[in-house]
């Protein structure tokens, strides 16, 4: 780097050196393309779409999305993206909305908007957000950030679904928002949108459909009989808002989602505006101030290129791949697919209907699959408020590129199950006892952990010090530990782990 303090363009060789280091770092990442990572990334399998997105984002590199009256392109792109989304998602011309930086921001703003409207309508005290426990964690985050209470409704441990009545019986004057998912991330359950939204409407309560993962693909989904899905979007009376991520099945680079509201006044409640400082008048529809318009432009370009027809073709590839993988997994003795998944997601649990020696633990299975170079996502079990435990599962997100990889992936899934069949799940108690000092060494109270003691515990677990923050190869014990610890303790340890990963290190 120049040491004389001048800002100058790096010379050719230096430029190459910089980019070479980045390439080397990127080479160590899990692969973002090719279908080997079945979560986090959404590969359309069409290189020309990625190139189009990159070119569109590059054109916006220097733009500040903060002010669409100065950078008028931003207004046009956002208007067209919201317009396309509204039509796709059952909205009429009373539906308006915003482009946000991602699903979490859309969910946060849905809660903030509902809370502010609830207060404006006379709500006092702590507002409540009611949702199935399977609703995305972003809603727990929103409740925490915006001073609401999160009320998680238990779901069935067999199917991951919830009946409408279990949600409706919790409605009351203190409820600012009810959230249902289309579908839920953990189990791909399509919540009872029609019934819940109708009850919310009768009670004058806002109802959000979290279609972050489903929004850009369920419009093209069909059930096992080939019939389109029954109503789940803004066409349903009583649904007041809906979120849908473009950086998932919109195939855009990370950083773009839409949040739609029924009614202009509801949308306006999302905004923050102030003229109460000596700087420029601030009007923020979303959480950020200055912001990139790169991902917006990329999403817009992909929408122009694909149109509904193109999205439909990619959805058909996902549908086919999901159907095949579901059948492959259902034929594996000892595993079961949770419930009736709706959309390109599967959650896989142990099949307890077969004798223990024939069962396959889904986390050992995922570890064995990973050893063959495919990354599935392990989800911990959860004890719900009614005491009923949801099983730990392994999650697969299926994308268009998966279809071309079925021939490679399917035998890997079966062989991995054969390799671990009969091995019991890691016992959380055993993991605790294996710690230096045994389970007694683990504090039951997160407040007793400071950064150093948390790091010492992680070190004892072999979880610190991996190259570039990489995790161990066997993740099943780690997931068991998460389940065994009191949640505030595991949350503190995970915070420590992720914070240590980004701490500056002494030069080698
Ligand atoms: C991904 C997801 C979110 C959160 O989105 P991010 O883009 O990761 O912030 C919310 N809800 C559901 C159902 C999701 O799948």
pLDDT range class, residue 345, cuts 50, 70, 90: very high
Segment 354-384, tens digit of pLDDT: 999 999 999 999 999 999 999 999 999 999 9
Distance 103 CA to ligand 1 centre (A): 4
Closest residue CA from atom 4 of ligand 1: 103
Residue 439 pLDDT: 74
Residue 296 pLDDT: 98
Instruction: Please give the Cα distance from 129 to 135 (Å, whole number).
Output: 11
Residue 437 pLDDT: 76
Using the atom order of ligand 1, give the atom closest to the CA of residue 105.
9
Helices (H), 121-235: 138-145, 164-168, 193-203
Q: Which class for 363: exposed (0-12), middle (13-18), buried (19 or more C-beta within 10 A)?
A: buried
**Mean predicted confidence (pLDDT) in 234-240:** 98
Distance 105 CA to ligand 1 centre (A): 9
Residue 2 pLDDT: 46
470 DSSP 8-state letter:
P
Using the atom order of ligand 1, give the atom closest to the CA of residue 245.
7
In the chain, pLDDT over 90 holds for what percent of residues?
A: 86
Pocket probe for ligand 1: among 101, 111, 133, 138, the residue whose CB has the most ligand atoms within 8 Å is 138
Q: What is the mean pLDDT of the chain?
A: 95
Residue 175: strand, helix, or coil: strand
Distances, alpha carbon 345 to alpha carbons 124, 130, 291, 326, in Å: 39, 24, 31, 9
Segment 98-155, tens digit of pLDDT: 999 999 999 999 999 999 999 999 999 999 999 999 999 999 999 999 999 999 999 9
Instruction: Please give the Cα distance from 153 to 151 (Å, whole number).
Output: 6
Contacts of 37 (CB under 8 A, 6+ apart): 30, 31, 374, 375
- CB contact burial 66-78 (16+ within 10 A = b; e otherwise): bebeebebbeebb
288 DSSP 8-state letter:
-
Domains for the chain: give ranges and CATH numbers: 56-302 (3.40.640.10), 428-502 (no CATH)
Dihedral sign for Cα 63, 68, 71, 74, please: positive
Distance 399 CA to ligand 1 centre (A): 16
Using the atom order of ligand 1, give the atom closest to the CA of residue 257.
7
Distance 344 CA to ligand 1 centre (A): 14
Instruction: Please give the Cα distance from 123 to 129 (Å, whole number).
Output: 13
Instruction: Please give the Cα distance from 398 to 322 (Å, whole number).
Output: 6
Residue 9 has pLDDT above 80, yes or no: no
Contacts of 459 (CB under 8 A, 6+ apart): 465
Residue 63 pLDDT: 98
pLDDT range class, residue 6, cuts 50, 70, 90: low
Closest residue CA from atom 12 of ligand 1: 212
Residue 93 has pLDDT above 50, yes or no: yes
Segment 69-79, tens digit of pLDDT: 999 999 999 99
Cβ atoms within 10 Å, residue 319: 18
Contact 472, 463 (CB under 8 A): yes
pLDDT range class, residue 441, cuts 50, 70, 90: confident
376 lines ligand 1 (CB under 6 A): no
136 lines ligand 1 (CB under 6 A): yes
Residue 433 pLDDT: 84
| Residue 263 C-beta-side C-alpha neighbours within 13 Å | 13
∠ CA 25-26-31, rounded to 5°: 140
Strand order, beta sheet including 335-337: 335-337, 345-350, 393-397, 377-379
Instruction: Please give the Cα distance from 57 to 44 (Å, whole number).
Output: 18
Instruction: Please give the Cα distance from 469 to 501 (Å, whole number).
Output: 5
**Mean predicted confidence (pLDDT) in 376-395:** 97
Residue 385 has pLDDT above 50, yes or no: yes
pLDDT range class, residue 1, cuts 50, 70, 90: very low
Residue 468 pLDDT: 61
Residue 290 has pLDDT above 80, yes or no: yes
**Mean predicted confidence (pLDDT) in 22-37:** 96
Instruction: Please give the Cα distance from 370 to 141 (Å, whole number).
Output: 30
Instruction: Please give the Cα distance from 259 to 212 (Å, whole number).
Output: 9
102 lines ligand 1 (CB under 6 A): yes
The two three-digit tokens of residue 156, written as one number: 């069935």
Lowest mean pLDDT among 62-66, 281-285, 426-430, 493-497: 426-430
107 lines ligand 1 (CB under 6 A): yes
**Mean predicted confidence (pLDDT) in 309-329:** 98
Query: Among residues 429, 433, 451, which one has the least CA distance to residue 441?
Result: 433
Residue 48 pLDDT: 98
Instruction: Please give the Cα distance from 207 to 345 (Å, whole number).
Output: 24
Residue 274: strand, helix, or coil: strand
Instruction: Please give the Cα distance from 260 to 310 (Å, whole number).
Output: 22
Segment 196-222, tens digit of pLDDT: 999 999 999 999 999 999 999 999 999
Dump strand ranges (E) for 74-217.
95-100, 128-132, 149-153, 175-181, 206-210
Instruction: Please give the Cα distance from 257 to 249 (Å, whole number).
Output: 10
Contact 234, 96 (CB under 8 A): no
Distance 138 CA to ligand 1 centre (A): 7
Residue 35 pLDDT: 95
∠ CA 326-45-52, rounded to 5°: 145
Bridge partners (DSSP) of residue 345 are: 397
Dihedral sign for Cα 283, 288, 292, 297, please: negative
């Amino acid at each position: 780097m120049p040491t004389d303090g001048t800002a100058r363009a790096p010379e050719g060789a230096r430029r190459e050196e910089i980019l070479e280091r980045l390439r080397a770092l990127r080479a160590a990442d899990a692969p973002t393309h090719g279908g080997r990572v079945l979560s986090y990334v959404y590969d359309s399998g069409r290189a020309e779409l990625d190139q189009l997105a990159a070119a569109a984002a590059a054109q916006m590199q220097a733009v500040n999305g903060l002010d669409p009256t100065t950078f008028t392109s931003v207004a046009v792109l956002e208007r067209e993206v919201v317009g396309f989304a509204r039509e796709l998602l059952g909205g009429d011309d009373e539906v308006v909305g915003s482009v946000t930086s991602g699903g979490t921001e859309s969910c946060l703003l849905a809660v903030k908007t509902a809370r502010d409207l609830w207060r404006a309508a006379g709500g006092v005290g702590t507002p409540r957000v009611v949702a199935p426990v399977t609703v995305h964690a972003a809603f727990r985050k929103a409740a925490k950030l915006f001073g609401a209470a999160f009320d998680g409704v238990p779901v069935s441990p067999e199917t991951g679904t919830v009946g409408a009545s279990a949600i409706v019986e919790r409605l009351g004057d203190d409820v600012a928002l009810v959230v249902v998912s289309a579908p839920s991330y953990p189990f791909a359950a399509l919540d009872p949108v029609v019934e819940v939204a109708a009850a919310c409407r009768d009670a004058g309560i806002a109802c959000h459909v979290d279609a972050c993962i489903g929004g850009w693909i369920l419009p093209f989904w069909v059930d096992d009989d080939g019939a389109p899905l029954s109503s789940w979007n803004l066409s349903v009376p009583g649904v007041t808002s809906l979120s849908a991520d473009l950086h998932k099945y919109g195939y855009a680079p990370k950083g773009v989602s839409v949040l739609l509201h029924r009614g202009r006044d509801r949308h306006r409640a999302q905004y923050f505006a102030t003229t109460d400082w000596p700087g420029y008048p601030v009007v923020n529809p979303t959480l950020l101030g200055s912001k990139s318009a790169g991902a917006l432009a990329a999403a817009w370009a992909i929408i122009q290129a694909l149109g509904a027809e193109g999205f439909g073709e990619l959805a058909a590839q996902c549908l086919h791949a999901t159907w095949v993988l579901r059948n492959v997994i259902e034929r594996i003795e000892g595993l079961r697919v949770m419930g009736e998944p709706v959309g390109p997601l599967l959650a896989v649990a142990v099949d307890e209907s077969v004798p223990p020696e024939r069962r396959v633990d889904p986390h050992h299975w995922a570890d064995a699959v990973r050893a063959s170079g495919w990354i599935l996502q392990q989800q911990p079990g959860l004890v719900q408020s009614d005491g009923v435990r949801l099983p730990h599962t392994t999650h697969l997100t299926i994308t268009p590129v998966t279809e071309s990889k079925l021939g490679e992936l399917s035998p890997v899934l079966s062989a991995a199950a054969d390799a671990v069949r009969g091995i019991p799940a890691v016992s959380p108690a055993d993991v605790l006892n294996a710690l230096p000092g045994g389970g007694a060494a683990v504090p039951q109270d997160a407040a007793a952990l400071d950064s150093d003691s948390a790091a010492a515990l992680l070190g004892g677990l072999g979880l610190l010090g991996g190259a570039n923050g990489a995790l161990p190869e066997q993740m099943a014990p780690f997931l068991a530990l998460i389940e065994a610890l009191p949640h505030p303790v595991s949350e503190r340890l995970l915070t420590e782990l992720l914070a240590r990963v980004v701490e500056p290190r002494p030069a080698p």
